[in-house]
Amino acid sequence: MSASDQFRGAKRPLAIMAGAFVASMFAIPVAQASSHREAPFITQQPKVDGTDFYMFQSYEPGRTGFTTLIADYQPLQNPGDGPNYYTMDQDALYEVHVAQDGHANEDLTFQFRFTNTLKDIQLTVGGKQVSIPLVQAGTISGQNPANLNVRETYGITLVRGDRRTGARSTITNAADGTTTFEKPADNIGDKTFGGTTGYATYAAAHLYAINVPGCATPGRVFVGQRKDPFALALGQVFDLINLNPLGPTSGNRDYLAQKNVTSLIMELPTSCLVGTSPIIGGWTTASMRQGRLLSAVPASGYSNVPKNGGAWVQVSRLGMPLVNEVVIGLKDKDKFNSSKPANDGTNFADYVTNPTFPALIQLLFPTAPAPTNFPRTDLVAAFLTGVQGVNKPANVVASEMLRLNTSIAPTAMATQNTLGVLAGDNAGFPNGRRPGDDVVDATLRVAMGALCVATGTTDALAVGCRPTDAPAGAAPLTDGVPQNASMFLNAFPYLNTPIPGSP
């Protein structure tokens, strides 16, 4: 029996996830692309395509004791894509899951459901009332303005326990107890919103204080379009990494610089998220109904074309960045998107114990050979179980999700290190993930064995490999596109105002 086979037999779940992140780390440059179009089916359903997931201790001044979770959907939104913009799918279920105490199953699930309503604004033309072709009939400000032709609202349900069978309760507006929240229209352009700062003011009117059942302190929520928070040389990366990862530290084109996403952003009292341990895990999913029927002759209206029924089917999943893009084989990418963390150990072993992406990196860049330690226990520690002494819970079940130790105080924006834990900033990636964390550079370095060459023998660094296992472990690898905290807001909702359709 080979060493690989022994590992599968004795510690299969751990091995699987180890390999998964081995590859995911090697694919780091792609990591900043995160889940943009990562699986065949999801390219056909962009409204339910999760792009990125963040989870971090709130570092806005005065918000100690809160944790922020961000789930981004609908990738590669071009500003000005009218007349129909990026509404959410009202027949889909968007969820943010939290696992407590090292579990691989959700303990808390926040479910978002959307409703799109056509007001059917009409103008009198030649004595007749005729419906307008646009989503706006004039300038827009405030909540549910009269000139907005399409009203988008949402509700939030908290499920404790299993996402489908657990105890359900409704999250309410702390100001008036209502259960329906307004989602702002996308940033159509400066003229529609009354100037260059008009959209920021308009969006801010859709930031809500919320009451979460079981929590004594209100949280906050914002759902709406934001500028895509990631930066990367997307085209170069997927063109066989057509850049020099050991070259200049900046200067490559940020493919996402002019792209927007739709963000589900929640800030919740940390005490309401943790169990017996301060360490939590998180991920986001989107699901659709099993059956969808299209009418041969749709009735007039905006939201009544498809008829949906049957059980919910998960079609998108995202925790740590990059896994599906560069670890999972093409034939199983849709399967991964439909899977749960608890099943990772049995579903995708071959892809993670024998990852192909590191071998490709070595083929493309012979001067940066891939690590030779198999299984990659260093990556298991960093990305699958948490790092001992940083964010590894007791009795952890190895599984793919983002893990955060909420007992580690947040780092103020001005002093955050873009490389997070690798640079001694333990409040950053991979202990959770902040908008300014350069996941690409940090993950690429760990993927190539940064932990193997680290000095010292403390528990945090005893990851089962040696410097000789990672010839390129000390290389300052980079994708050449900068990412840091100063590029974002220092307050909720942290992500920047979306790029307007026209200045």
Q: What is the pLDDT of residues 191-227, one digit of tens each?
A: 999 999 999 999 999 999 999 999 999 999 999 999 9
Distances in Å between the alpha carbon of 457 and those of 176, 452, 460, 464? 55, 11, 8, 10
Q: What is the pLDDT of residues 128-150, one digit of tens each?
A: 999 999 999 999 999 999 999 99
Q: Is residue 361 part of a domain?
A: yes
DSSP one-letter string for 101-161: TT-SS-SEEEEEEEEEEE---EEEETTEEEE-SSSBSS---SSS-TTBSEEEEEEEEEEES
**Identity of residue 254:** D
> 157 φ, ψ to 5°?
-115, 135
* Structural domain boundaries enclosing 33: 3-454+475-487
Q: Computed over its alpha carbons, how large is the radius of gyration of the chain?
A: 23
Q: Is residue 465 part of a domain?
A: no
- Mean pLDDT over residues 161-183, rounded? 98
Give the DSSP H or E segment for 324: helix 323-326
The Cα 179–Cα 287 span in angstroms is 22
Q: Is residue 481 part of a domain?
A: yes
Q: How many domains does the chain have?
A: 1
List all residues 6 or more positions away from 297 whose beta carbon is below 8 Å from its beta carbon.
none
- Mean pLDDT over residues 72-94, rounded? 94
Distances in Å between the alpha carbon of 330 and those of 58, 115, 313, 336? 37, 34, 20, 10
**Residue 96 — very low, low, confident or very high, per pLDDT cuts 50/70/90?**
very high
Q: Is residue 342 part of a domain?
A: yes
DSSP state of 479: -
- Mean pLDDT over residues 392-415, rounded? 94
Instruction: Using the predicted structure, report yes or no on whether residue 436 has a pLDDT greater than 80.
Output: yes
- Mean pLDDT over residues 32-61, rounded? 81
**Token pair of 68 as six digits:** 């922020």
Q: Is residue 101 part of a domain?
A: yes
Q: Is residue 303 part of a domain?
A: yes
The Cα 51–Cα 37 span in angstroms is 8
Among 391, 283, 275, CA closest to 336: 283
**Token pair of 378 as six digits:** 């260093």
Amino acid 251: pLDDT? 74
Amino acid 248: pLDDT? 67
Give the DSSP H or E segment for 425: none
Instruction: Using the predicted structure, report yes or no on whether residue 487 has a pLDDT greater than 80.
Output: yes
**Residue 456 — very low, low, confident or very high, per pLDDT cuts 50/70/90?**
very low
Which pairing describes strands 181-183 and 208-211: parallel, antiparallel, or unpaired?
Answer: unpaired
List all residues 6 or more positions away from 186 whose beta carbon is below 8 Å from its beta carbon.
77, 85, 86, 224, 225, 260, 498, 501
Amino acid 147: pLDDT? 96
Give the DSSP H or E segment for 386: none
Please give the model's pTM, rounded to 2 decimal places: 0.89
The Cα 128–Cα 351 span in angstroms is 63
Instruction: Using the predicted structure, report yes or no on whether residue 122 has a pLDDT greater than 50.
Output: yes
Mean pLDDT of all residues belonging to the chain: 85
Instruction: Using the predicted structure, report yes or no on whether residue 454 has a pLDDT greater than 50.
Output: yes
Q: Is residue 502 part of a domain?
A: no
